[in-house]
Amino acid sequence: MKKFNFKKTFTFDGKRYVAYGDTERDAIIKMLEKKKALEEGKVTVGGSMTVTQWTEIALSTYKPNVSPGVMKDMRSRIRKHILSVIGDRPLKSVKPLDCQMIINGSSGMSFSHIQKLSQELSFIFSTAVQNRLILESPAAYLVKPKAQKGKRQSLSDEERTAFLAACEGTDRFRVFQLMYYCGCRPGEAIECEGRDVSMTDDVALLHIRGTKTVNSDRVVPIPEELFSLIRDKAPDAPLAPNDRGNRHSESSYDRAMSSLRREMNIQMGCKMYRNQLIPPFPLRESFVPYDLRHTYCTDLAAKGVDIRIAQRLMGHASINITADIYTHIEKQRIIDEAVKILGKR
């Protein structure tokens, strides 16, 4: 092995690199060339590279058409749950046990979160296999933990009153108001900007730039209660910013969700001691913000909105999804009337 007279070292992205040369000038030139290559993403691809390095290459190479909002959430989730655990490890050193422990850490979270995290683990290592960096994926046979998955519920009258009271006079919960008043999905509410608000024939409208289904991109009316709060937003400003005025990340959305649950519990009469809520909690444990979107749909049914119009307003891919909610409302109406007829109420 040839011995060089000079070497130069530098640090890039937390990792130390060495460049060698017969002369000091050669070593400096090679150091600068290597540093430039690293900065341009032209790292030497191999099994010894770290999970973080490969993840960045894989995302930029295989996910070029992902929308900025979705990519931001994906990166946030990967960074928080995957790279924080194994990011500094060489690709070839990661074992199935490591990946299973990561997915086990999401036990009790939403079904959607566990699905996404599982898919992202699989993506990172399956693309590494495709590029022959590792022989097999350590995320190939993950056993998914138990998730919080249940049928969406509409808000009860008490929950509705608590939600509206919690939102009054604060901007923190605007993202949830978009779900309640306009039927947005959480990701859609986060992506809404001032440019998406318009007026047609004195009717305020919101352009929801959905991407989940072909029907997700839609226009819905904005009730005055919400329109008065968002009408003056700048075109590029998020309608529902986080506490810092920026677009929500996964973590800031989670914090807002926890805060909403707390405020609704307080509004429903939960006792407190030293600023801590004392069980039992009045708000049902199964409540999630997605219930606000479900409430929007049940309100459409209660107002007699045609089911085909409701499908468009909800952005449902199939009218069968909307029909399930409408059928449930009709059954409840029949039960309510039957109770009155039988004189039990």
Domain positions in the chain: 6-39, 51-130, 157-341
Angle, vertex CA 334, rays to CA 182 and CA 332, nearest 5: 40
List b or e across 91-110, with b for residues whose CB sees 16 or more CB atoms inside 10 angstroms: beebeeebbbebbeebeebe
Q: pTM of the prediction?
A: 0.64
SS (H, E, C) 117-142: HHHHHHHHHHHHHHCCCCCCCCCCCC
Tokens coding 7? 């070497």
306-322 pLDDT, tens digit each: 999 999 999 988 888 78
The answer, yes or no, to whether residue 344 has pLDDT greater than 60, is: no
Across the chain, the runs of DSSP E, i.e. the strands, are: 6-12, 15-21, 197-200, 203-209, 217-221, 272-273, 276-277
228-243 pLDDT, tens digit each: 999 999 999 999 999 8
The answer, yes or no, to whether residue 295 has pLDDT greater than 50, is: yes
What is the mean predicted confidence (pLDDT) over 234-253?
90
Domain at 51-130: CATH code: 1.10.150.130
Residue 286's pLDDT is 86
Average pLDDT over all residues of the chain = 87
The answer, yes or no, to whether residue 146 has pLDDT greater than 50, is: yes
124-137 pLDDT, tens digit each: 999 999 998 999 99
Residue 273 contacts residue 281 (beta carbons within 8 Å): no
Instruction: State the CB neighbour count (10 A cutoff) for residue 280.
Output: 8
The answer, yes or no, to whether residue 161 has pLDDT greater than 50, is: yes
Residue 1's pLDDT is 46
Q: How confident is the model at residue 165 (pLDDT cuts 50, 70, 90)?
A: very high
Residue 35's pLDDT is 78
The answer, yes or no, to whether residue 44 has pLDDT greater than 80, is: no
The answer, yes or no, to whether residue 43 has pLDDT greater than 60, is: no
CATH T-level assignment (fold) for domain 157-341: hpI Integrase; Chain A (1.10.443)
Higher pLDDT, 277 or 25: 277
Residue 111's pLDDT is 76
Per-range mean pLDDT, top range of 100-114, 202-216, 243-257, 265-279: 265-279
Query: How far apart are the C-alpha atoms of 55 and 303, rounded to whole Å?
Result: 49
